[in-house]
């Protein structure tokens, strides 16, 4: 074999060994991140990996000349540089709240629970009859700012004579953060009761969407909270308790997930630090209160593009190429760690079915044709709450039913206002309790 070929083989072999060493050190670093729960912004794992790699490099080069010994440190230096990017913040670590909206003033209310939440009020803007009972909106997330699309829908309800209030749950949007351990579904229910008390207008109607629908369902199962409710609209709810959360089943008609173009804009998951942090949190390897990134830093880093596939799943397949911008980059706010924490407390909670069966608050369930929610999450509410008076199956829309496309906002508003005013439903009552088995069997 020619000398040049031998040198090439040796060089390739050494290069592969060096790459293997770098890969091994990166894997060790990630394992230590998991074992230490990201202690010290990842520096504990980084220093341990660097120290271990340096010791191994010294041992490998113990019989070599000094230049050769230094070469043994090259994989350690490369691995150190790669892993250091996981330890260095690239966004502010202090909370950065969204700027003020141009069309509504956010008030800040301190609740009896200790939460300080951002509140939005849309007074009746119609010259016609005004509905005497306030309407409170619970957005999805669970720890997410209220989107501009939702604000527009609330304005539409106000133009129809409703006195509309909405608040961003603690930690979301312009509301103050909580210590991570205080984010629980039970705390969210107490915050709802405290908000209604702070409103000082007696019983209220409540519209809960997505995780807000789950929160409203749990409020209906708590007699002390339900006593504050006049009527309840549970729209596209998530799981209401642990047993429901572990149900496997089908979703609605095909959504735009996988069909819609990738959203534009920066993604936190393109930055090594946040790709590692959010990825390991989602897998349950890091806790929501990990030492790798703080709650405020995680909120600041997360962008609307990070939720691109989730946004697409909220629309029907036929809307894949015309999905509206749900929010502005300035107003978007989502707390991944706090949301995971609340979702976990739902999964860990015992069944509320027996308590929900005692509910007497008149309620309506709204289900989207192209829902991205497990159908059994929705039908479980209908099956166990005897006070659900009607179900409205919304054709032609996905999870985000009021999305500004076509007449979707007007159709959703018509369904909501008909129920709140105890008028005939604009759509058939479907599915009824007796129709649940058929509804699930036919994969509607």
In-domain check, residue 277: no
User: Tell me, what CATH number does 148's domain have?
Assistant: 3.40.50.1820
Alpha helices in 109-184 (DSSP H): 148-159
In-domain check, residue 90: no
End residue of a domain, out of 69, 84, 99: 84
Same domain, 376 and 229: yes
Q: Find out whether 222 and 216 touch, Cβ atoms under 8 Å.
A: no
Q: What is the reported pLDDT for 351? A: 97
- d(CA 416, CA 401) in angstroms, rounded, equals 12
pLDDT one-digit tens code per residue, 402-425: 999 999 999 999 999 999 999 999
What is the rounded average pLDDT for all residues in the chain?
92
- d(CA 22, CA 7) in angstroms, rounded, equals 22
Same domain, 257 and 125: yes
The total of structural domains in the chain comes to: 2
Whether the per-residue pLDDT at 15 is higher than 60: the answer is no
Q: Are strands 229-235 and 164-168 parallel, antiparallel or unpaired?
A: unpaired
Same domain, 322 and 371: yes
Q: Find out whether 57 and 72 touch, Cβ atoms under 8 Å.
A: yes
Q: What is the reported pLDDT for 343? A: 96
Same domain, 41 and 156: no
Joined together, the tokens standing for residue 95 give: 């909370």
Same domain, 32 and 141: no
Same domain, 28 and 121: no
Instruction: Give the full edge-to-edge strand order of the sheet including 116-122.
Output: 107-110, 116-122, 164-168, 135-138, 204-209, 229-235, 363-370, 388-398
In-domain check, residue 312: yes
Same domain, 185 and 322: yes
Domain that holds residue 48: 3-84
In-domain check, residue 94: no
Model confidence band, residue 60 (pLDDT cutoffs 50, 70, 90): low
Same domain, 166 and 70: no
Q: What is the reported pLDDT for 262? A: 86
The label of the residue with tokens 């289900």 reads 367
In-domain check, residue 320: yes
In-domain check, residue 217: yes
H helix or E strand, kind and range, residue 391: strand 388-398
Look at residue 370 and give its three-state secondary structure. strand
In-domain check, residue 243: yes
% pLDDT > 70, the chain: 93
Same domain, 389 and 358: yes
pTM of the model: 0.92
Model confidence band, residue 126 (pLDDT cutoffs 50, 70, 90): confident
Same domain, 313 and 382: yes
For residue 398, the cross-strand partners are 370
Whether the per-residue pLDDT at 38 is higher than 60: the answer is yes
Same domain, 246 and 371: yes
In-domain check, residue 279: no
Same domain, 205 and 142: yes
Q: What is the reported pLDDT for 80? A: 83
């Amino acid at each position: 074999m020619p000398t040049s070929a031998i040198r090439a083989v040796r060089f390739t072999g050494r290069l592969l060994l060096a790459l293997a060493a770098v890969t091994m050190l990166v894997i060790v670093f990630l394992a230590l991140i998991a074992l230490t729960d990201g202690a010290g912004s990842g520096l504990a794992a980084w220093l341990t990996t660097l120290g271990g790699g340096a010791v191994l490099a010294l041992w490998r080069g113990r019989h070599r000349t000094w230049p050769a010994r230094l070469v043994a440190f090259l994989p350690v230096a490369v691995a150190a540089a790669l892993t250091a990017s996981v330890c260095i913040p690239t966004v502010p670590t202090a909370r950065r709240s969204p700027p003020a909206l141009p069309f509504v003033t956010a008030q800040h209310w301190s609740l009896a629970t200790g939460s300080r939440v951002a509140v939005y009020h849309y007074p009746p803007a119609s010259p016609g009859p005004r509905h005497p009972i306030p309407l409170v909106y619970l957005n999805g997330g669970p720890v997410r700012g209220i989107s501009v699309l939702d604000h527009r829908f609330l304005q539409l309800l106000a133009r129809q004579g409703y006195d509309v209030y909405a608040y961003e749950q603690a930690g979301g949007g312009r509301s103050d953060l909580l210590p991570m351990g205080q984010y629980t579904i039970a705390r969210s229910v107490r915050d709802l009761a405290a908000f209604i008390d702070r409103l000082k207008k007696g019983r209220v109607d409540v519209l809960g969407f997505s995780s807000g629908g789950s929160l409203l369902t749990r409020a209906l199962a708590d007699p002390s909270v339900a006593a504050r409710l006049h009527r309840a609209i549970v729209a596209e709810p998530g799981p209401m308790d642990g047993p429901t959360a572990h149900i496997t089943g089908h979703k609605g008609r095909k959504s735009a997930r996988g069909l819609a173009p990738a959203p534009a804009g920066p993604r936190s998951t393109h930055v090594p630090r946040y790709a590692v942090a959010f990825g390991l949190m989602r897998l349950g390897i890091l806790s929501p209160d990990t030492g790798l990134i703080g709650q405020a830093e995680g909120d600041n880093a997360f962008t609307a593009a990070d939720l691109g596939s989730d946004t697409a799943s909220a629309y029907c397949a036929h809307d894949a190429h015309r999905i509206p911008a749900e929010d502005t980059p300035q107003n978007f706010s989502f707390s991944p760690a706090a949301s995971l924490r609340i979702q976990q407390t739902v999964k860990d909670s015992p069944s509320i079915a027996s308590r929900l069966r005692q509910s007497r608050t008149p309620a309506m369930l709204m289900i989207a044709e192209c829902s991205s929610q497990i159908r059994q999450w929705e039908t479980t509410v209908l099956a166990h709450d005897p006070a659900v008076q009607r179900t409205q199956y919304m054709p032609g829309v996905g999870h985000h039913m009021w999305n500004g496309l076509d007449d979707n906002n007007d159709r959703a508003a018509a369904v909501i206002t008909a129920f709140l005013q105890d008028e005939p439903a604009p759509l058939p009552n479907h599915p009824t309790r007796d129709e649940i088995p058929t509804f699930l069997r036919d994969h509607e």
